Amino acid sequence: MTTSVHSVFSICVKAIRSGKLIRRESKKDKEFHFQNWFKNRLQETKLNFEIGGRNSYPDFRLVAQTEGYEVKGLACPGREVNYDCNSQVPSGNHNGRTIYYVFGRYPADADGRTYVTAIF
């Protein structure tokens, strides 16, 4: 099976190393800042993808491959042993697609609107 997960992860690592910061639209933005950053990384791969609607699963679906990416931002400090997965239990497979989870940490009490992330 051909997969793009390695190239997607590599471009995320390059973005972090080159200082491409995550930007919140406002200090109250607790949800979309990491998704927006990841969407920009997917665009850099030149892969065709679709964006799911609000509360859809997964957040991003590749067009030419049966892969999807579910993005989870976790506050730091914050929950260390669990995360909010809405009503969809993470399974790695959904509707015939292999789903990859992208977790990112963000500062719970950010003093600005941009910050560096760690992905895993």
Tokens 């990491």 label which residue?
Answer: 34
Q: Chain-wide mean pLDDT for the chain?
A: 79
Residue 84 has pLDDT above 60, yes or no: no
**pLDDT tens digit sequence for 24-80:** 777 666 667 888 899 999 999 999 999 988 778 899 999 989 999 998 877 776 655
Domain locations along the chain: 5-119
For residue 117, CA distances in Å to 34, 36, 47, 49, 76 come to 8, 13, 22, 23, 10
pTM of the model: 0.79
